[in-house]
Amino acid sequence: MKGLFITFEGPEGAGKSTQARLLAEWLRAKGREVVLTREPGGTRLGQAIRGLLLHQDPMCAEAEYLLYSADRAEHMQRVIQPALGLGHIVLCDRWLDSSLAYQGYGRGLDLGWLRAVAQGATQGIRPHKTFLFDLPPEVGLERFEGRDRLEREPLEFHRRVRQGYLELAQAEPERFVLLDATQPLEALHTQLRGYLESLLLEANP
């Protein structure tokens, strides 16, 4: 079996982490080898970086992105690439698109520079499919109480992030699957199972 790299993207409160976990359980019940991971924090180094990124004092946008990139490089080499080499399905909660949306559209950093740095960190490996959970930031932020630095950003920041995600999806319709994250949890899970079944058939006819 060929490995599959599937990412889950979306703004705060979109429910992507829950859906990734449910899909991992469903795939494992079907006998599939699944690696469920997240960014930042999918490695020991990543856990330390996650603490800096989400709970440390404010930092400049460039430093923030380079920390994400360090996490991404370690994550790729230690977790994702080995799992794909073994033919496993990798479900990753956030990937490069998060940085493009948050540090690019949200913070205003140059997308060309972000992608150039990412080329080395990701070794050019791209997701086979990206599920984008879309919902208005006003809805998503109501589900949290400003637990980390990003969630405490002003509403206008989160609106730019959402717009960034939508533009990224529009630019790569063959990779992105846009999902209405205001739907009930079970309805979304059913949709995702359908997409995964089709994807598995395409990858391993």
Candidates 110, 115, 119, 108; CA nearest to 163 is 108
List, for residues 110-168, the tens digit of each pLDDT value.
999 999 999 999 988 999 999 999 999 888 777 665 577 777 888 999 999 999 999 99
pTM for this prediction? 0.94
3-state secondary structure 83-128: HHHCCCEEEEECCHHHHHHHHHHHCCCCHHHHHHHHHHHHCCCCCC
State the binding site for ATP.
Answer: 10-17
For residue 9, give the amino acid letter: E
Q: What pLDDT is recorded for position 188?
A: 94
**What structural domains and CATH numbers belong to the chain?**
4-203 (3.40.50.300)
State the binding site.
Answer: 10-17
Q: How confident is the model at residue 1 (pLDDT cuts 50, 70, 90)?
A: low
List, for residues 60-117, the tens digit of each pLDDT value.
999 999 999 999 999 999 999 999 999 999 999 999 999 999 999 999 999 999 999 9
